[in-house]
Amino acid sequence: MIRIAVDAMGGDYAPAVVIEGLTAALYDFPEYELTIVGHQGKISLYLEKFGIADHPRIKLVHAEETVEMHEPATMALRGKRNSSITMCAKLLRDKKVDAVFSAGHTGAAVAASTVLVRTLEGIQRPGIATIMPGMYGKYILMDSGANPDCEPINLVQFALMGEAYAEFFFDMKEPRIGLLSVGEEDSKGNELTKEAFKMLSSMPINFVGNVEGNTIFENITEVVICDGFVGNILLKGCEGLAKSVMYWMKGVMTKNPVRMTGAMLARNAFKDLKSFADAEDIGGAPLLGINGIVIIAHGSSSPRAVRNGIKVAGEFVKFGINDKIINRVKETGALASPSELDTAEKKN
Amino acid sequence: MIRIAVDAMGGDYAPAVVIEGLTAALYDFPEYELTIVGHQGKISLYLEKFGIADHPRIKLVHAEETVEMHEPATMALRGKRNSSITMCAKLLRDKKVDAVFSAGHTGAAVAASTVLVRTLEGIQRPGIATIMPGMYGKYILMDSGANPDCEPINLVQFALMGEAYAEFFFDMKEPRIGLLSVGEEDSKGNELTKEAFKMLSSMPINFVGNVEGNTIFENITEVVICDGFVGNILLKGCEGLAKSVMYWMKGVMTKNPVRMTGAMLARNAFKDLKSFADAEDIGGAPLLGINGIVIIAHGSSSPRAVRNGIKVAGEFVKFGINDKIINRVKETGALASPSELDTAEKKN
């Protein structure tokens, strides 16, 4: 059995959408045991509705509170110690589950996981790895939002974690790793990336050097490494532009009857087009570097996204990604020094 | 007469495309006097071809060298002191021209302008302000690439320079200014933006707080402020995604005869769609904060983009944007301290 805790209260349409999605996962993956963490009074209705209240592979854990989207991330640790995400992290820490899935407050999930579950041996800070749509296929962007301020060692460790994810996701050896910067040449970048470039160059990984904001879409690497501030803005920027393109498209396509006829004939093409940037297929992004599996999903996740995110959580457990990360960090010697780990802990 | 120096050697298709574009500008703007800076042996052919060799509003300045795209930016100051961009900067420094237009090496243009022409009184570092396509209209992104590493005072000064640009571009008073970050709340951001947030909050500008990578496309502010590393990656990321969308679109639209018929009927809609993200209308981005007007264009600029970039250069001169920036910096007291200016100079 693969044991997964699901934060039933996390997400814009929680708990309804989460429970609908986890019901699908429950039936699709008979080797999964799901622990639903949430306010019992608020979720029981949906458990009844979807007919899983007494399901043998369902467990319930009551959580009195929820970290709301507008609250600071630290609320998960200080103000609301009985929140659903905090309870999920505790279950993971206590080895009651193998993985956690949450579509709730990203910062809260990162904070609770880092402080309660802790990072993997030698890893200073965890990072979020997001699958992005490139022109000819997908690529992995890491960190896409966990760490607004990074040190060079963090980027180096993201490279190793991204490598492990790419081996799993693309089923390949020695995936290509690029460092997101403002020019291809070694000399281009900010202080952080220039230092990280040097460190990455001397490592036994398939490091191809700097990659740029435009070229990453040409699938020149499987993994793109950056700090969480840049990654988050790039990720959300693409979301904003994609939404704008769809809005403009609607405008130009409905301008006159001829165009409308054309749009109607090509309507399936537009559906296909949307599928290129469909994040729901993957359903969630792993927070890598934590001593357990944590999958973070978009707040607006649909039931299908929740189902797929839970699926991915289980796959990570089976793949044993964390053992691979620990081994690679040891092999390459890219460990955070004890003093760095110390500082990281104090920061949290 | 408005006197503009044009870097004839700058750009992927220089000098041909640049001279074609400046010929159009020459005829369209009778109050412009253009100084063509480039290798005479390489440009004379094109001056003949476009029939402007003896035009009364054309001057020629010979430049023996060109800073190539793959060379470091400092080449403009150290290795190739007779390069076209360096000569352009010297003309601006010596008040022989009022503005410079270049589609060449961005870093070289920034370095040459900063060191030779110097920054405006009280301004520590110049920044590139790029017009971006939002869902309902344009917005200004600054800095989009001049400064990979910034201090909070730089972001504050970008806000004032962006404000002046927005007043010119949108013809409005008190444009809204947003600070690009990873969450709307004051507490969200990296160390740089959190400090800049505090400074911006206390200033007499229309500061609306943090804005995010996705919401900036919803035109919630006229100006979006960030460091040049983040800005460059966002800008190029959008370029990469837009190119991907067009590529995917072609694929899905040509999949079968019905879709192809639809696409043919709606073909003008696709043309309209492209126009939303058309950078050639503006033709170039100003490097603001320099004691003179410097317009930097994309390396792949077409003749139309060059023509429009030269047009914009002249409009900036007429608008007197630099006087406005100097006044606003004085009024708001957001001056770089003498020690900061000192450091900035040494860095260059």
**pLDDT tens for each residue of A88-131:** 999 999 999 999 999 999 999 999 999 999 999 999 999 999 99
Strands A138-142 and A127-133: antiparallel
Q: Clarify whether residues A267 and A141 are in a common domain.
A: yes
Which strand ranges, in their side-by-side order, compose the sheet holding B32-38? B58-62, B32-38, B2-7, B99-102, B293-296, B285-288, B127-133, B138-142, B223-225, B177-180, B207-211
pLDDT score of B348 = 43
- Identify whether residues A221 and A115 lie together within a single domain: no
Mean pLDDT (chain A, rounded): 93
Under a CB-based contact definition with an 8 Å cutoff, are residues A203 and A153 in contact? Answer: no
Claim to verify: residue A88 and residue A18 sit in the same structural domain? yes
ipTM: 0.92
Q: Given a cut of 70, is residue B30 above it in pLDDT?
A: yes
Query: Residue A179 sits in a domain of what CATH number?
Result: 3.40.718.10
Q: Which among B213, B258, B261 has the least Cβ separation from residue A232?
A: B213
Name the residue among A193, A214, A227 with its Cβ closest to that of B239: A214
158-187 of B, contacting A, C-beta below 8 A: 180-183, 185, 187
Q: Which domain holds residue A315?
A: 1-126+289-348
CA distance B219 to chain A (A): 11
Q: Look up residue B316 and give its two tokens.
A: 């900036």
In percent, the amount of chain A with pLDDT more than 90 equals 84
* CA B203 to chain centroid: 25
pLDDT of residue A342: 47
Task: Determine the average pLDDT of the residues in B152-156.
Answer: 97
pLDDT value at residue B340:
55
Least Cα separation, residue B84 to chain A (angstroms) = 22
Given a cut of 60, is residue B347 above it in pLDDT?
A: no
Residue A309 has pLDDT above 70, yes or no: yes
- The CB density around residue B45, as the number of other CB atoms within 10 Å, is 13
CA distance A337 to A124: 9
Question: Are B26 and B69 within one domain?
Answer: yes
Per-residue pLDDT tens over the stretch A273-301 = 888 877 778 889 999 999 999 999 999 89
Q: What is the mean pLDDT of residues B154-176?
A: 96
pLDDT higher than 90, residue A346: no
Same domain, B257 and B150: yes
At residue A253 the predicted structure's pLDDT band, cuts being 50, 70 and 90, is very high
The token duo for A160 is: 């190793």
Q: What is the pLDDT of residues A25-71, one digit of tens each?
A: 999 999 999 999 999 999 999 999 999 999 999 999 999 999 988 88
| A347 interfaces chain B, CB cutoff of 8 Å | no
Count structural domains, chain B.
2
What residues 131-150 of chain B have any CB closer than 8 A to a CB of chain A? 133-135, 145, 148-149
pLDDT of A340 reads 54
Same domain, A17 and A58: yes
Query: Is the pLDDT assigned to residue A9 strictly greater than 80?
Result: yes
Same domain, B275 and B155: yes
Residues of A in contact with B180 (CB under 8 A): 233
Give B-chain residues touching A232 at CB under 8 angstroms: 182, 213
Note whether A130 contacts B: Cβ–Cβ < 8 A: no
b or e along B153-170 (b: 16 or more beta carbons within 10 Å of the residue's beta carbon)? bbbbbbbbbbbbbbbbbe
pLDDT score at A19:
97
CB-defined contacts A:B, below 8 A: 199
- Tell whether B1 lies on the interface with A, counting CB pairs under 8 A: no
Question: Is there a single domain that holds both residue B118 and residue B139?
Answer: no
Half-sphere exposure of B29 (CA within 13 A, CB side): 25
For residues B48 and B174, membership in a common domain is answered with no
CB contact under 8 A, B268 and A259: yes
Distance from the Cα of A21 to chain B's closest Cα (Å) equals: 26
Average model confidence (pLDDT) across chain B = 93
Question: Do A144 and A269 sit in the same domain of this protein?
Answer: yes
Question: What's the pLDDT at B281?
Answer: 81
- B265–A258 C-beta distance less than 8 A: yes
Please write the tens of the pLDDT for every residue from B211-235: 999 999 999 999 999 999 999 999 9
**What pLDDT is recorded for position A339?**
53
Asked which of A92-106, A333-347, B71-85, B231-245 is least confident by mean pLDDT, the reply is A333-347
Whether B75 has a pLDDT exceeding 90, the answer reads: no
Quick one: B330 and B234 in the same domain?
no
The pLDDT of residue B345:
47
Residue where one domain finishes, among candidates A260, A280, A300? A280
Whether B243 and B336 map to the same domain: the answer is: no
Which of chain A's residues have a Cβ under 8 Å away from the Cβ of B272?
Answer: 252, 255
